[in-house]
Amino acid sequence: MTKRLIFRQAMARLYKEFTADGSWFFKPWNKEVVTDPQTGKTYDFADAPTKLLTTVQDCWVMHPGESWHGFKDIPDNWSMLDPIKVSILAPGMGEDGELEETGVPAALVTAWLGRHGIVPTRTTDFQIMFLFSMGVTRGKWGTLVNTLCSFKRHYDANTPLAQVMPELVEQYPDTYANMGIHDLGDTMFAWLKENNPGARLNEAYSGLPVAEITPREAYNAIVDNNVELVSIENLPGRIAANSVIPYPPGIRCCCLVKTSAIKTVRK
């Protein structure tokens, strides 16, 4: 628990230092201010006592109306942050969920981390999650901080992609040969701002799908060979018979069998 806290506070301090100088940096996704319930004293998260953060559950609870977590209509005391999962936010989205004028796409940061042997658990448009499981030492998360700082240096300098992501230039020379890493970030951010995939994702998850048949019935259809391959463009209105379960965390998300087709139960 303490290692996660030290990392979060280190990121919070770096965020304060860079932004105080008019620059940017990543910040941890958690409360920015916490209160000691015994004394009533308020601390910036970066400077809060370790004992307070490790013993007072309210430091991690998401309360309704708090802007830092972004969830609307959340019940009070219903949810709290998992201490072993640490998320950092890249600049680009305000606390109101609206995109800002400029930003650093998290996917680009994740690609940078991957080139340096660091694999995040999850990446969204402007959020990157890391799993601080058993065995994560100060040395390991220190490497993560250094790699993030290295990304910032190259991003601010707009280092040519040929130097920092040569495999990308080799694969698509016509597109990336004359582009810097900041140029690529700006291009990705412009696409995010124009297409707003986050809003589309929210719409997709705003309602639960209706199960036409049970998983058992779908499985029996496969056993009886009562299935067929259907191209992706013809999927609407069909029932999927097979599922893909990614790991982590082992949650069924879709029902793809092959890249170009999906098995479905004949209606």
Domains observed in the chain: 2-30+81-200 (3.90.1150.10), 215-265 (3.90.100.10)
- How many C-beta neighbours within 10 Å does residue 170 have? 11
Residue owning tokens 């802007």 = 67
pLDDT at 111: 96
Q: Which two tokens stand for residue 206?
A: 């705003």
pLDDT at 67: 87
How much is the average pLDDT of 26-46?
A: 94
Q: Rounded mean pLDDT of the chain?
A: 86
pLDDT at 261: 40
Alpha carbon distance 174, 41 (integer Å): 58
For residue 133, is pLDDT > 90? no
| pLDDT tens digits along 63-74 | 998 889 888 888
pLDDT at 244: 62
pLDDT at 3: 73
Contacts of 122 (CB under 8 A, 6+ apart): 128, 129
Count Cβ atoms within 10 A of the Cβ of residue 36 and give its class: 0-12 exposed, 13-18 middle, 19 or more buried: middle
User: Which letter does DSSP use for residue 78 in this model?
Assistant: S
pLDDT at 249: 58
pTM, full prediction: 0.79
Contacts of 167 (CB under 8 A, 6+ apart): none
